[in-house]
Structure 1
Amino acid sequence: MATPSAAPADRRSNAATRRRQREREIIDATRQLFDERGVRDAQIEDIAKAVGINRAIVYRHFTGKEELFALTLVQYLDELRVKLYEVTADTASESPRAQLTALVTAFADYGLEHPAFVDNALALMRRRGPDLMAEVSESAMFRLGRSIGGCLALLTGAIEAGVEAGDFHVEKPYLLANLLYASGLGTLQLARVGLLVAEAAPGIPQVSNVTTDDVREHMVISALALVSGPRAIDALKDPESKQS
């Protein structure tokens, strides 16, 4: 038989469990709408309806739409981290160059398979840090940072391994990992648009198609060029240095 002092603790524990369960239901419904309709067309009313609650209850669990969307991004990122971890394990005995190629390819494949992930990530990245932190609770920002950091740690580790082996020339691996993540999202958006714009003649635009294979290959080549350091950049500036 529970003691009187234990009963309130049990009720608090049960209430916390129910709250976490409801939060997961709301995030799962948001994720489903993202995947079906895209981030832009996902409305709080539709999310609440999918869970079988009214929108006021959604705001009891999240500070607002930005926080809900940030925690939905966490779900995507946690999936991505698992895939990147598997790639890291599978390529552990290979060269740093091969491992980085595999990681960037896995990131590209995940983004191409889950366009709502790209939309969601880019939507949050368009916000200034202080503005986002003013709208999202500290605990939600911690969860988001932990999920992004988990993905970037695997990429940073591959870059650091290349530096240690003398294959890569990078002063700040963690900075490059962040840049690859941000630029990769933009490049994946180009794959969604599927169009390239050039100038056929002065003032005359020319539009052509770009394939997902083109985008994936560009992401890998760009990453490998960046880890090669100044010597690769110098070679691009001076073709004769490629022969030295």
Structure 2
Amino acid sequence: MRRVPTPPDADGRPRDGRRNAAAARRRAREADIVAATRQLFDAKGLREANIDDIARAVGVNRAILYRHFTGKEDLFALTMVSYLTELAEVLAAAARRARTPQKRLAAVVTAFADYALDHPAFVDCAQALMRRPGNELLDEVSERALLKLGGAMTGCLRSLADVIEGGVSSGEFKVKDPTLLANTLYASGLGALMLARSGLVIRESAPGVPEVGEISAEQVKQYMVATALAAAKGQLSA
């Protein structure tokens, strides 16, 4: 008995079987490209990795990349999702290891700093995206990528906000808006970690006389923890 072919959909495309297979291949290719981008970022840094390097790593030309992504920022946003998804797990684990709100907050901030110091390209990628005005990101990054980026960011901030909310409930923290504080600590932490990477601090040795000193990553981490605790206790405006 001869098999009757399945008619196409109204738009002329083949029905579910072939369409699903094509979609699966597309998703697999996109995942390969994002993974290659992440590897290049980790190996060479954000500034040294370019579209041609990424294309060569995947074994395609740059035209193929632009079939899958609207542009460089779109690809970088999805690569950022890879970092944030990993970081969210790290922060959640850190929060679970401590018992009191203060210790949990210190543990989460320390885990964030350690992850960022181990992955410098994460900090560069995060700052590159944060420097762009929102309307520019909407123009240059696909809605799909923005949704994934927002979801991954929410996953990271959730651990921090939950710890702060727990401290508010116990009376140890005095914070009106835990979500705002979590976002502020994340953004300010990225800046502080750039200081840790440079290892340099500018101070005034005499009026009008600048002096370059050294600062360690450990000092920066301690400052980040102290600042987070002070803000959570209401000792700083946030």
Structure 1 position 140, deviation (Å)? 0.6
Whole-Å Cα distance in 2 between the matches of residues 33 and 130 of structure 1? 28
Q: State which of 154, 170, 177 in structure 1 corresponds to 2:175.
A: 170
1:134 matched to 2:139? The reply is yes
Structure 2 residue ranges without an equivalent (≥5): 8-13
Whole-Å Cα distance in 1 between the matches of residues 229 and 236 of structure 2? 12
TM-score (ref. length: structure 1)? 0.91
Structure 1 position 5, deviation (Å)? 2.6
Whole-Å Cα distance in 2 between the matches of residues 211 and 188 of structure 1? 10
Per the alignment, residue 11 of structure 2 pairs with: none
Q: Deviations over 1:216-241 (max 9, x none)?
A: 10110000000011xx249xxxxxxx
2:96 and 2:104 in contact (8 A); partners too:
no
Q: Give structure 1 regions of 4+ aligned residues with deviation exceeding 2 angstroms.
A: 1-8, 88-91
Whole-Å Cα distance in 2 between the matches of residues 168 and 182 of structure 1? 20
**Secondary structure in 1 aligned to 2:43?**
helix
**Secondary structure in 1 aligned to 2:205?**
strand
Q: State which of 72, 87, 91 in structure 2 corresponds to 1:80.
A: 87
**Secondary structure in 2 aligned to 1:39?**
coil
Structure 1 position 207, deviation (Å)? 0.6
Structure 1 position 90, deviation (Å)? 2.3
Q: State which of 37, 45, 50 in structure 2 corresponds to 1:43.
A: 50
- Percent of counterpart pairs with the same letter? 54
Whole-Å Cα distance in 2 between the matches of residues 207 and 70 of structure 1? 35
- What letter is aligned with 1:212? A
In structure 2, do the counterparts of structure 1 residues 233 and 104 end up closer, same or farther at CA, with 3 Å as the change threshold?
closer
Q: State which of 54, 72, 77 in structure 2 corresponds to 1:65.
A: 72
Whole-Å Cα distance in 1 between the matches of residues 5 and 114 of structure 2? 55
1:182 matched to 2:187? The reply is yes
1:99 matched to 2:104? The reply is yes
2:205 and 2:211 in contact (8 A); partners too:
yes
Whole-Å Cα distance in 2 between the matches of residues 41 and 115 of structure 1? 13
Whole-Å Cα distance in 1 between the matches of residues 168 and 109 of structure 2? 17
Whole-Å Cα distance in 2 between the matches of residues 82 and 148 of structure 1? 12
CA RMSD of aligned residues (A): 1.6
Structure 1 position 86, deviation (Å)? 1.3
Whole-Å Cα distance in 1 between the matches of residues 201 and 34 of structure 2? 35
Whole-Å Cα distance in 2 between the matches of residues 5 and 89 of structure 1? 53
Per the alignment, residue 35 of structure 2 pairs with: 28
Per the alignment, residue 240 of structure 1 pairs with: none
Q: Which has the higher helix share?
A: 1
- What letter is aligned with 1:37? K
In structure 2, do the counterparts of structure 1 residues 170 and 25 end up closer, same or farther at CA, with 3 Å as the change threshold?
same
Q: State which of 129, 132, 154 in structure 1 corresponds to 2:159.
A: 154
